[in-house]
Structure 1
Amino acid sequence: MILVLDFGGQYNQLIARRVRENHVYCEVHPHTLSLDKIREMAPKGIILTGGPNSVYKADSASCSPELFELGIPVMGICYGSQLMSHLLGGKVATAPTSEYGKTEVTIDEQGSKLFQGVDKKTICWMSHTDYIAEAPAGFTVTASTPVCPVAAMENAAKNLYATQFHPEVMHTVQGKTMLKNFVYEVCGCAGEWKMDSFVKTTVEELKAKIGNGRALCALSGGVDSSVAAVLLSKAIGKQLTCVFVDHGLLRKDEGDQVEAVFGPNGSYDVNFIRVNAKDRFYAKLAGVTEPEQKRKIIGEEFIRVFEEEAKKIGAVDYLVQGTIYPDVIESGLGKSAVIKSHHNVGGLPDYVDFKEIVEPLRLLFKDEVRAAGRELGIPEYLVNRQPFPGPGLGIRIIGEVTEEKVKIVQEADAIYREEVAKAGADKNLGQYFAALTNMRSVGVMGDGRTYDYAIALRAVMTSDFMTAESAQLPWDVLQKTTTRIVNEVKGVNRVMYDCTGKPPATIEFE
């Protein structure tokens, strides 16, 4: 097992995901975890994450210097590297030149275990305003950039390694190799952890936790909630009731598709209830334009609907949700900065009328959820379904949500997905969809003036949904999609394509 100590950065759980890619189990814990607990856990290695603070400030997150004397290999990343330097006698200061984004790093010590198989010059992701001005005694500088003299350092005798850059993000071209080297070459891990062990352990834990209790699953029909539902059905069977709330913010025909899979004539032997709550959600969202407020309204209304359904079927002890790691991180739980609230994490109201919320996928990334789905025998077409946010089209409509706008984006999105799939351009896409901007512009159609909405098309390539690159879709696909949307969707006279990656943007619009 590799232990990740969290100092509050945005990519902390992504480190765990990268470690697990090497079939090594990994847990993330706060940096305040005691030395006694660490000794008890006996990890094969420890990784210190990034964070938003300066290590030399009195109130900054820190750890005991004794951590580096436990005889356990330690790797510091970004803030973690600076903290290692600071606690062991090096010098950390405000950098004369900050670095952010893709940066060419020179590997100065290719004999390092960490950099085996890494090119002498390699592209890495930097994100720092402080830097290590002087490495501690006993450390060798192993990598540098023109403005960062200590881009990496190590004390190989003590198995202490540090990188100023982020090897965990996809923008660091050979980052996976570096982390694999740390896990295998430095820590000596065996690589025996597989998804089947997660599924088996989770089912047993759910049986023990819920016992004879009853659970209500928030089923959207997406990958996450579907995998959560099947996990629960294997654990507690008919003690589970799946409630599907059609909030009127789903993709075109999606409500009927979900019912076809999980309903009375579907593939799974579960109690299934469909609640058509479109009017209720639209009324709550009337006049609301602020994204966070929309998310929280939708999240609270979800919970209220579930509470009502729970009362109809009798006492229900647990609410099951398909929350996954990226939801947790972006909602700013712990010390990470809030990017946006997810309806099933930061968007929950203060009072929830259930004994407890159960989130069996909370420690998994999207690709791991899909792997768990396959392990559970869920059909491939459902496992590979592209993500859809809990707030639905409510966050793909900029500004106020109305029934008219929902209809526009549903039709445009259906056309876009159809044309992309028809052209076979969806093979390497992590997510693609149409969104409705709040911009109206002048156009000309049939020799007449129009003043209608602009649709924005988005498509990204990503393996983890923490970082993403905008996809370069074939121009003929975009042209055909544009023509069809403008011709077939009333109220639209302009179509644009979003070329922004994540960061700086998020994948969803709000």
Structure 2
Amino acid sequence: MVIGALSGGVDSTVAAVLVSRAIGDRFRGIFVDNGLLRKNEAADVMSMLREQMHVHVNCVDASKRFIEALKDISDPEEKRKIIGNQFIEVFEAQAQVISADFLLQGTLYPDVIESVSYKGPSATIKTHHNVGGLPERMKLQLIEPLRYLFKDEARKLGMVLGLPAEVTAERLRKLREADAIYLHELRAAGLYEQIGQAFAVLLPCKAVGVMGDFRTYEEVIALRAVATTDYMTADWYPIPFPVLRRVSLRIVNEVSGVNRVTYDITSKPPATIEWE
């Protein structure tokens, strides 16, 4: 029997659907309500997993124990370790109830890279509660089918499996902040009224970057601006390089979670003005 650690995010959901379809009733998913979720998130996740993806999953309300364990703790790294230990204890108890032999986790390759220092002085950026193995007392063996995939690869696999497209408050925040910076700088440079349409796009992929001495793996923003009179055809607008440089610097420095900015220089046709 396989027990699955589900958070409702892309990674664990893709892993759960993949294994559930492979072994059927021998899989049992466990969604832990740790008390730190968004409004109605637990109910929404359970509905999606059960009704849309047909995954056998139970919800465990462990909010009280998580909140008590985190009381008076302010250091982010210490919080992560506490959360990881709490998750392990919850899953250990659930595994004993259903006599599971294996534990499924949605670990991705970036989780491993950020949590473990390999071959010399590479920095441990932050630990992840799903990286580092299990306590010896636990007799469960780990199953991590996504361990060597990046986030964009996991999303592509999710699309193949039929998972609903991900639209989150966090991604909307990044896009809104980047778009506001872009339009502000166009207006400040006196360019906005000369452009037919301008907007920022949050791409469905991530990119490797470097900030300070650390490796990052974060979102990509594409900028679009066109000159047109009839919107049936359009040319990309030649925004001066100093303006593009200022927009790029502001976005990567002010919008957390974004480490790359590109400018779309494709005319219509062959491209459309909008991104889809």
Write out per-residue CA displacement over residues 478-510 of structure 1, whole angstroms, 9 at most, x where no aligned residue: xxxxxxxxxxxxxxxxxxx96167799xxxxxx
Q: CA-atom RMSD, angstroms?
A: 3.4
Work out whether 1:499 is the aligned partner of 2:254: yes
Matches within 5 A, 1:97-496: 214-263=1-50, 266-313=51-98, 315-335=99-119, 336-346=122-132, 350-351=135-136, 353-379=138-164, 381=165, 384-385=166-167, 417=173, 420=176, 427-428=201-202, 462-463=206-207, 466-468=216-218
Post-superposition offset of 1:222: 0.8
For normalisation by structure 1, the TM-score amounts to 0.36
- Counterpart Cα distance in 1 of 2:105 and 2:54: 19
Q: 1:426 to 1:321 in 2, by over 3 A?
A: farther
Task: Using CA pairs under 8 Å that are at least 6 residues apart, name the structure with larger relative contact order, 1 or 2.
Answer: 2
Quote how far apart the aligned CAs of 1:333 are.
4.8
Q: What's the CA shift for 1:342? A: 0.6
Q: Which amino acid aligns with 1:361?
A: L
- Three-state SS of the structure 1 residue aligned to 2:52 is coil
> Whole-Å Cα distance in 1 between the matches of residues 60 and 255 of structure 2?
36
CA distance in 2, matches of 1:352, 1:326: 27
CA change 1:276–1:233 in 2 (3 A) is same
Q: Distance in 2 between matches of 1:419 and 1:371?
A: 21
CA shift for structure 1 position 334? 3.3
Q: How many Å separate the matches in 2 of 1:306 and 1:502? A: 30
Distance 2:200 2:42 in 1: 23
CA distance in 2, matches of 1:311, 1:420: 46
Cα distance change of structure 1 residues 334 and 246 upon mapping to structure 2, 3 Å threshold: same
Aligned residues: 203
Q: Contact 1:367–1:463 (CA<8 Å) still a contact in 2?
A: no
Contact 1:240 1:271 in 2 (8 A): yes
Residue 503 and residue 257 in structure 1: after superposition, are their counterparts in 2 closer, same or farther (change >3 A)? closer
Aligned to 1:433: none
Q: 1:355, CA displacement in angstroms?
A: 2.7
TM-score of the aligned structures, taking structure 2 as reference length: 0.63
**Which amino acid is the alignment partner of residue 366 of structure 1?**
K
**Structure with the higher fraction of residues in helix conformation:** 2
Q: 1:104-137 CA distances to partner (integer Å, 9 max, x unpaired)?
A: xxxxxxxxxxxxxxxxxxxxxxxxxxxxxxxxxx
- The separation in 2 between residues aligned to 1:303 and 1:244, in whole angstroms, is 13
Distance change (3 Å), C-alpha of 1:469 and 1:357: closer
Deviation at 1:337, TM superposition (A): 2.7
Q: 1:395 aligns to what?
A: none
Task: Please state how far the C-alpha of 1:247 moved relative to its aligned partner.
Answer: 0.4
Cα distance in 2 for partners of 1:342, 1:419 equals: 26
Shift of 1:358: 0.8
2:187 corresponds in structure 1 to: none
Question: Residue in 1 aligned with 2:264?
Answer: none
1:499 is matched by which residue type in structure 2?
A: E
C-alpha separation in 2, matches of 1:278 and 1:502 = 27
| Structure 2 spans left out of the alignment, 5+ residues | 181-198, 210-215, 224-251, 260-276
- 2:91 and 2:79 map into 1 onto residues whose CA distance is 18
1: CA distance between counterparts of 2:19 and 2:200?
31
Unaligned runs of 5+ in 1: 1-213, 387-412, 431-460, 474-496, 505-510
Distance 1:469 1:377, change over 3 A: closer
- Cross-structure match for 1:479: none
Once the two structures are TM-superposed, the CA of residue 373 in structure 1 deviates from its matched residue by 1.3
Q: How many percent identity over aligned positions?
A: 43
Describe the shift of the 1:385–1:300 C-alpha distance in structure 2 as closer, same or farther (beyond 3 A).
farther
Deviations 1:128-184, CA, capped at 9 Å, x for gaps: xxxxxxxxxxxxxxxxxxxxxxxxxxxxxxxxxxxxxxxxxxxxxxxxxxxxxxxxx
Q: SS at 1:428's partner residue?
A: strand
Following the alignment from structure 2 to structure 1, what is the Cα–Cα distance between the partners of residues 64 and 200? Answer: 33
Displacement after TM superposition at 1:338 (Å): 1.0
User: 3-state DSSP class of the match of 1:462?
Assistant: strand
Which residue is equivalent to 2:267? none
